[in-house]
């Protein structure tokens, strides 16, 4: 269970959903693993949207969600507020010992953490600071600020806005580019060419498949504008909006892509593309 849902527009997972999934996993004797890299942001949405959690703190909400999981993994560069690190935690002692033994062979003792001491200390502090109510309010509102202003100039964005990113509907923005020519990637490249903005395609380049010689597109053709924490000022966000205004003027001139090379797995990271 990934909280928040990164490939689905950054939408939160409700506590009720988490409970139901836990019941399903117990029924089939299956481990429930929580990808908790945005657990604090997800807790903010639960507090403000889900009945019964209005009086709970973000920290308490996160603790409850963790209780339903059998294991948790985190890329701490998100809600850990650090530039490096992460963790794996498990309830099953035997499974934890197997992971520890594998770690010794491949990386080192668990006391090393796979990180330098200063990175581990920064992570310990970040996991506390991320649940600060003022920080979370500012974080969520900053993301919404970008979404509202892109919406205002006519850029098709997913609503409601998520916590860590704004998602642009490239299929609607680049209607002349079919899914097999990757409209999301066209927007990603245009943003970089016109304004030096780095974004990522979450569409048919990432999830599309060719089955029995027929191309099967992804459900979405999205472009994610993920916002790093404690980095951008309001002027940076306003600049992004200005670049989108310029890209919008040139949309009809933009062309799609064809794949020249793709690896067997995770092609979106290392494939080679060519403009048509």
Tell me the domain boundaries of the chain: 6-129, 133-275
29-41 pLDDT, tens digit per residue, is 999 999 999 999 9
Give pLDDT, residue 271: 94
CA–CA dist 186, 150 (Å, integer): 18
DSSP string computed for 35-102: E-TTHHHHHHHHHHHSTT-TTS-HHHHHHHHHHT-SEEEEETTTTT-SSS-EEEEES-HHHHHHHHHH
Instruction: Quickly state the pLDDT bin for 24 (edges 50, 70, 90).
Output: very high
Helix (H) or strand (E) holding 167, with range, is: strand 165-169
- Arithmetic mean of pLDDT, 179-204: 97
Instruction: Quickly state the pLDDT bin for 252 (edges 50, 70, 90).
Output: very high
Contact 90, 164 (CB under 8 A): no
Give pLDDT, residue 46: 98
Give the chain's length.
276
Q: Distance from CA of residue 228 to its chain's centroid?
A: 11
Instruction: Quickly state the pLDDT bin for 254 (edges 50, 70, 90).
Output: very high
Contact 243, 191 (CB under 8 A): yes
CA–CA dist 197, 255 (Å, integer): 18
Instruction: Quickly state the pLDDT bin for 112 (edges 50, 70, 90).
Output: confident
115: DSSP letter: S
Whose structure tokens read 């908790």?
A: 36
CA–CA dist 65, 53 (Å, integer): 12
169 has which bridge partners? 222
Per-residue tokens: 123: 């992570």
Give pLDDT, residue 158: 95
Nearest to 165 by CA among 228, 207, 219: 228
Mean pLDDT computed over every residue of the chain:
94
Give pLDDT, residue 104: 87
162: DSSP letter: -
Whose structure tokens read 């062979």?
A: 105
- Arithmetic mean of pLDDT, 89-97: 95
255-264 pLDDT, tens digit per residue, is 999 999 999 8
Whether the per-residue pLDDT at 114 is higher than 80: the answer is: no
| Percent of the chain residues topping a pLDDT of 70 | 100
Whether the per-residue pLDDT at 210 is higher than 90: the answer is: no
**DSSP strand pairing (272-275 vs 257-261):** antiparallel
DSSP string computed for 128-186: HHTT-HHHHHHHHHHHHHHHHHHHHTT--B-SS--SSEEEEEHHHHTTTS-GGG-HHHH
Instruction: Quickly state the pLDDT bin for 10 (edges 50, 70, 90).
Output: confident
Contact 37, 76 (CB under 8 A): yes
Give pLDDT, residue 62: 98
Whether the per-residue pLDDT at 144 is higher than 90: the answer is: yes
Of 103-117, 138-152, 203-217, the one with minimum mean pLDDT is 103-117
In CATH, the architecture of 6-129 is: 3-Layer(aba) Sandwich (3.40)
133-275 CATH pick, 3.30.460.20, 3.40.50.1860, 3.40.50.300, 3.90.1150.10:
3.90.1150.10
Whether the per-residue pLDDT at 61 is higher than 90: the answer is: yes
Contact 134, 121 (CB under 8 A): no
Give pLDDT, residue 105: 86
The pTM of this model reads 0.90
Instruction: Quickly state the pLDDT bin for 133 (edges 50, 70, 90).
Output: very high
Going edge to edge, which strands form the sheet with 222-226? 165-169, 222-226, 200-202
């Amino acid at each position: 269970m990934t909280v928040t849902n990164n490939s689905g527009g950054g939408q939160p997972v409700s506590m009720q959903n988490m409970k139901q999934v836990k019941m399903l996993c117990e029924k089939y004797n299956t481990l429930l693993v929580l990808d908790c890299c945005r657990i604090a942001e997800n807790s903010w949405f639960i507090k403000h949207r889900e009945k019964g959690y209005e009086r709970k703190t973000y920290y308490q909400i996160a603790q409850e969600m963790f209780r339903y999981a059998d294991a948790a993994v985190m890329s701490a560069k998100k809600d850990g507020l650090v530039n490096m690190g992460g963790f794996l935690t498990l309830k099953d002692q035997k499974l934890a010992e197997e992971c520890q033994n594998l770690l010794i062979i491949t990386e080192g003792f668990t006391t090393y953490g796979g990180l330098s001491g200063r990175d581990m200390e920064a992570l310990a502090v970040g996991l506390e600071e991320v649940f600060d109510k003022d920080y979370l309010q500012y974080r969520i509102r900053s993301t919404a600020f970008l979404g509202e202003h892109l919406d205002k100039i006519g850029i098709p964005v997913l609503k409601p806005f998520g916590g860590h990113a704004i998602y642009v509907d490239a299929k609607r923005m680049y209607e002349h580019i079919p899914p097999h020519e990757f409209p999301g990637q066209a927007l990603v490249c245009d943003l970089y060419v016109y304004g030096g903005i780095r974004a990522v395609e979450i569409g048919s380049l990432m999830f599309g498949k060719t089955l029995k010689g027929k191309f099967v597109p992804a459900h979405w053709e999205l472009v994610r504008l993920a916002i790093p924490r404690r980095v951008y000022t309001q002027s940076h966000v306003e600049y992004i909006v200005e670049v989108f205004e310029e890209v919008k003027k040139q949309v009809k001139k933009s062309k799609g892509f064809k794949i020249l090379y793709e690896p067997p797995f995770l092609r979106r990271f290392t494939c080679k593309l060519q403009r048509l």
